[in-house]
Every structure is written in C-alpha cells, then in structure tokens.
Amino acid sequence: MDVTGDAVSRPATKDQRMSTRTLPVRNPRTGTDDYEIAVADPDEVELKAARLRENQKAWAAKTLEERLDVLRQWVGAFAQKAAEFGQLEAIDTGGTHTSFVQGFITMDTIKGVIEDAPGAFERASVHRTSVSMPTVEIRSQFVPYPLVGVISPWNAPTMLAMFDAVPALAAGSAVLWKPSEVTPRFVPFFFEIVNAVPELAKVFDYVLGDGATGQEVIRQSDLICFTGSVPTGKKIAVACAEKLIPCYLELGGKDPVIVTETADLERATTSVLNGGVYATGQVCYSVERIYVHESVYRPFVDLLVEKARRVHLNYDNPRAGHIGPFTFGKQSETVAAHIADAKAKGASVLTGGEVEIHDGGTYMAPTVLTGVDHSMQIMTEETFGPMLPVMPYRDIDEAIALANDTVFGLTASVIAGTEEEAIGIGERINAGSIFLQDTFLMAGKGRTIGTNSFGFSGVGGGRTGPDSILRFVRRKGLLVQHGPVADILDAKFEER
C-alpha cells in the first residue's frame, strides 16, 4: 500500500451503510476526491451511544487492573498491524513522518497509560481521618463519566485522539470518537484492530461525519474532548455549557520563539526551522513568529534563509523529502492570504511564499518573511503553514511584551546563551509549555507533567501528564462518623 491511496477499496461497515448522506474525501497528494464516507445520521449516533452506555456499566465495574489487562491485549493486537496502519494514516495526511510511525506512537500511548494509571489513582486516593472532624473517617471513590465523546482534528489524527480516548477507557468510561472528515480513511482499519479485543470493542466505537455529526456526539455524551480551531471550539463550549457537561478543548496557538543576542545562531536557526516547518507547519505548537535581538537579527535571517532553501518538498517521494503537502487543501488558502496581507503592509518574502501544485497536491516551501509587525495577520492569527516571520527587538522586555501580545498561549520557545538566561525569560511568557534552548519539545512533557494553556489555546485541565486520567472520573467522598451524632436538641448558640 502506498500513500497515493488504496484505502478506498476497503468496504464500508454495516453501521456506515445506515447513513443516507455521503461526503467525498480529498487525497492530499493527488488533489482528487478518491474516497467517500457515509455520514452517520442522528439515529445511528444515538444507537451507538446507547450501546456504549449499556456496556460501560460492566466495564466500569471491572477493577483498574482488569481494564489495563484489556488495554495490554490491545497493544498486542496493534503490534501486528502497526506498520500497515501507519501507511494508511499517511494516505490521509499526505505522508508525514509522524503518520508513518503512528501505529507505534499509538502503542506507546497505550503502554504509557497502563504504566501511569495506577499511580495516578493512588496519589489521588484518600483514606484518612478528617482534618476538621477527628471522629469522621473519609474514603474516596472514583466514578467514571459513562460516555466520553472525542472529536479530533485532521492533523496527527490518531495521536491527538488517543491522548483522550486511551486514558478515558482506562478510567472506566466508554468512548465515542468522531474523527475529522478530512482524514477518515484509517478509521475502519483502526477499529479492525479494536475489534480484535472484544471487551474493548464493547466500549469503544466511532461515527463518521462533519460538524452536524459532532453536534450529535455532544448531545449523547457526558464529557467532551475536542482538538481543533477556536471558532469550532467556541461552538462546542456553548453546546457543552447548555448541557452542563465538562469539556476539554485544545484550540491551537500562535507560538513565539525568542532568540537572544547571546544565542548560538547555528543552534537557533536549526531549531527554529524545524519547529516552524516540520509537518508543513501543520502542528498546533509549530513556531509561528520569531523575535530576534536586533544585534544578531541580520546574521540570523541570513542563516535561516540559507537553511530554509535546502528543505526539499517530498512530492516525488513521501519518505525521502523533508515536508509534504497541505493535508487540508483549503489550509493553503489561509496561508496565502496571510502572506498577501503581510506583503501589502510592507513585509518581504525571502524564501518560498508561493503555493505550488505538484501532481495535484498543494505544497509550499519554507517561507521566511522580514519587515513584519503585529499589524499583520501572519503575526497575530494562527497560520498553520511553513511560515517563518522574523521580527527584531531592542531589549528583553520588548521581546517578552511581543511574545505575550496574543490571544493564544499554548507554547513558546526561548533560545539564549545559557540555560539560566532562557529559564528567566521563559518564566515571564504566558503559555502552557515553554521550550528552552530548542523548539518543538511537546513530546517530552507527555507522561511527565500536565499543563494549562493560556488564552484561547485551551479550556479545562491538562491532557498530558500521568494525572490526566483523572479528567474522566468524578471524585466522591464517603464520610463515616465514628463518634456520637449531632443532636439538634442540644444545639445552642454560645458567646465566645
């Protein structure tokens, strides 16, 4: 199977054929619609949700270790199909490196939850005497939300969904997943692997469709996890508020990097280039704006341009080039509009900057821009493309003010002469994760720390860290009175 698309030959499942509406799916590398999905209608979503809810009762009644044993079986099933699965997701995304290894990333995600879950619940458990009432003993209980709805995006589609689905399943919830209609080909094959573990298949299912299908998932769920755009995230937040159910939203960023006058420019330019254009810049924590001290601004730009020109578009071989096509064809229109806006306001494009069509796929080379400022969309709105807009600053206070001049706050980076200098700057930037002496370090925090996003970048608790599983349970307190009970007849007010 190659990434130009053989997945269309996979037959629709029985549940898919219940639908009366279909959607075409575009192949990112050919630009043609060569796949079709059957859109789940409201009755289908309701039917699947009801089945999952019923099966969740027995799933939640299992011990944590019993549920983890089922997940271990899932790892075993994935191990047999991981490479083939990566090939299939690569068709959807256009062939990023992450897609080719996504089967193995999924296995690592499951293994990580298996390893971390017992400790998370142990740390959160309470069995002790009350601090304020010494005769009262308190025990904790964790009750999983019955049905968790996961609505995932088109970039890194499996990985971003599994950050939520796997811990939810381990916690005892059932999961109904609505993947993006832009990248749906891999999903039936993914669930062939799920169905190899019958106990898991009872509590994990999917529906295909567009925004209307997502709305139905919200109506049926007790908790929602969504990764995607701010406009859609706002709609989901409102829908969840109307139901008074929790929602966890990751909504992207406009991630800055500060390069100080003491930084090693070789290191800085290499790191910034990778952070800005990896996966064609279609990552929520991609570098989107670069602030460089004025004393090193020109040599930094010259070196960045030289390295950017060596990046190869992979239209001839998805495994050999550096960056691929836009996964979502319309994303190139947003990128082009941001470039046009910047140029109209005085910016200069030093590399790239033009949408290129190769064999039907839509590409853009790494694009370095200078003469940029915060009047331009490319410095204030999420671009989601291989953009490298560079702006000079006079002193570190100005750099920090520029970095914080945003409605977003997902990640930021600092590259300085010393780690101590970088830490001091990073502590003043408003973002949930600060990468120091490098960019693009999000994978490093995965199982280690949970963080909160700032501004429009996210709502709800952290989706990473060993305690992220606790998002999917409600905590109960069982209070036992070992002493005499209070008697209303003895109650009286006493002066102090």
- Structure token pair of residue 478: 């069982």
Length of the chain equals: 496
Cα 274 from Cα 435, distance rounded (Å): 13
Tokens for 229, please give them: 């755009």
CB atoms within 10 A of CB 389: 26
Q: CA-to-CA distance for 160 and 152, rounded, in angstroms?
A: 7
Place of tokens 């130009």: 4
For β-strands 174-178 and 204-206, DSSP reports them as parallel
Q: What is the rounded distance in angstroms from the CA atom of residue 431 to the CA atom of residue 80?
A: 39
The amino acid at residue 297 is Y
Question: Residue for token digits 């989706």?
Answer: 463
Q: Is 250 a catalytic residue?
A: yes
What separation, in Å, do the N-terminal and C-terminal C-alpha atoms of the chain show? 82
Question: Cβ contacts of residue 414 below 8 Å, gap of 6+?
Answer: 257, 258, 260, 422, 425, 426, 429, 434, 435, 436, 437
Long-range contacts of 276-279 (CB under 8 A, 24+ apart): 276/366, 276/386, 276/387, 276/388, 276/439, 277/308, 277/311, 277/322, 277/323, 277/366, 277/386, 277/388, 278/323, 278/440, 279/96, 279/97, 279/98, 279/155, 279/156, 279/323, 279/324
Active-site residue, from 216, 240, 284, 288 = 284
Structure tokens at 413: 């980076």
Q: What is the phi/psi pair of residue 389, to 5°?
A: -80, 125
Residue with tokens 């990473």: 464
Token pair belonging to 16: 């898919």
DSSP assignment, residue 323? B
The residue annotated as part of the active site, out of 44, 89, 216, 250, is 250
Residue 383 per-residue DSSP state: -
Cα–chain center distance at 200: 23
* Rounded Cα gap, residues 381 and 375, in angstroms: 11
Is residue 182 within 8 Å of residue 13, measured between CB atoms?
no
Dist CA 116 CA 470 (whole Å):
11
- DSSP lists the bridge partners of residue 250 as 227, 458
Active site residues: 250, 284
